[in-house]
Amino acid sequence: MDLKHSRSVKLNDGHFMPVLAFGTLASDDVPKSKAAEATKMAIDVGFRHIDAAYVYQNEKEVGQAIRDKIADGTVKREDIFYTTKLWATFLRPELVRPALERSLKNLQLDYVDLFIIHIPTAMKPGEDLMPMDASGKLIFDTVDLRETWEALEKCKDAGLTKSIGVSNFNHKLLEMILNKPGLKYKPVCNQVECHPYLNQSKLLEFCKSKDIVLVAYSALGSQRDANWMEKDSPILLEDRILNAIAKKHGRNPGQVALRYQVQRGVVVLAKSFNEKRIKENFQIFDFELTPEDMKAIDGLNRNFRFIKLLFFADHPNFPLRDEY
């Protein structure tokens, strides 16, 4: 296997996606400059897949970091796999390309490697990323996601993105796209919450059967952001079994949780702005979990979500009503 792709998975459109990605989402209290610093550190330690999004509001900084690392000779543009996401206020077909062009302008890049629908719950278009009514309820929009998908296909044809995919879709929403008359390109991936407490085995099996890569976010639990998760959520990295397996391999529980995903064919995001942890999170290619380890970690599944997406629960496309 050629070395360049030995840590990558081949997508259904022929492109390659590195199996370990650096996540750039930060909570509101983190200064934007930290995203640039952390992205540079991540590239320096070996990360080549950068996972970002318009709604994270830091693409200027992340783009600057990538361009700095290209300018100093650390990487070439084609070494980097950059993902951005189409936010829910831009799901109307006519808003899709302008949204991607806005990300590209912020990044000052000519193309992204992957453009995905961030969440299937369309919201009222406009500059407000979380449009709410007077009573504090989100204002939803009605959009046929198959038309949104056609607009993503056009972005791929125009060379603005190499690949297109989805995020936070359940199997029914995926089937709606896959069964669309005149489908030109299948989604290459579905990015969802996935970790030992929510191992998504049914959705993973479904995605594998359709040659769609599952990409795991919140793979280490989650940044305990009170806006998105409950304070009394369990702490994944304190799990007794994960820690026992980590100790056996001379690793930390985070490395075990990341390695677990890679070994089951899942692309995994690792999010940290701490230099020591960024380094540790990349060190998952020089050890292997045994079949017994994998089985023990599978046994931790309790279908527990850190990110319940309850803001969107009343939307007809709310993806978490179904089992998978």
Which parts are annotated binding residues? 118
Q: Please name every residue paired with 138 in a beta bridge, in sequence order, or none if there are none.
A: 132
Whether 67 shows a pLDDT value over 60: the answer reads yes
Domain ranges of the chain: 8-312
Q: How far apart are CA 146 and CA 153, in angstroms?
A: 10
Q: Which residues contribute to the annotated binding site for substrate?
A: 118
Closest CA to 148 of 88, 106, 197, 101: 88
Residue with the two structure tokens 């792709």 = 5
- Prediction pTM value: 0.96
The closest of 20, 17, 322, 65 to 164, measured between CA atoms, is: 17
Q: Is 82 a catalytic residue?
A: no
Helix (H) or strand (E) holding 256: helix 253-263
Mean pLDDT, the chain, as a whole number? 95
Question: What are the C-alpha distances in Å from 286 to residues 94, 102, 262, 274?
Answer: 46, 39, 12, 21
**For residue range 114-144, what is the model confidence (pLDDT) as tens digits?**
999 999 999 999 999 999 999 999 999 999 9
Q: Is 50 exceeded by the pLDDT of residue 1?
A: no
Token pair belonging to 227: 């806006």
- Cβ contact 66:39 at 8 Å: yes
Region of 36 on the Ramachandran plot (φ > 0 left; ψ -120 to 50 alpha; else beta) = alpha
Q: Is 23 helix (H, G, I), strand (E, B) or coil?
A: strand
* H or E segment and range at residue 21: strand 20-23
CA distance 222 to 139: 27
33-66 pLDDT per residue, tens? 899 999 999 999 999 999 999 999 999 999 999 9
Which residues are paired to 123 by β-bridges? 140
Q: Exposed (0-12), middle (13-18) or buried (19+): which is 294, by Cβ within 10 Å?
A: middle
Name the catalytic one among 54, 56, 82, 260: 56
Tell me yes or no: is domain 8-312 CATH 3.20.20.100: yes
Average pLDDT over residues 142-169: 98
Output the pLDDT for position 229. Answer: 61
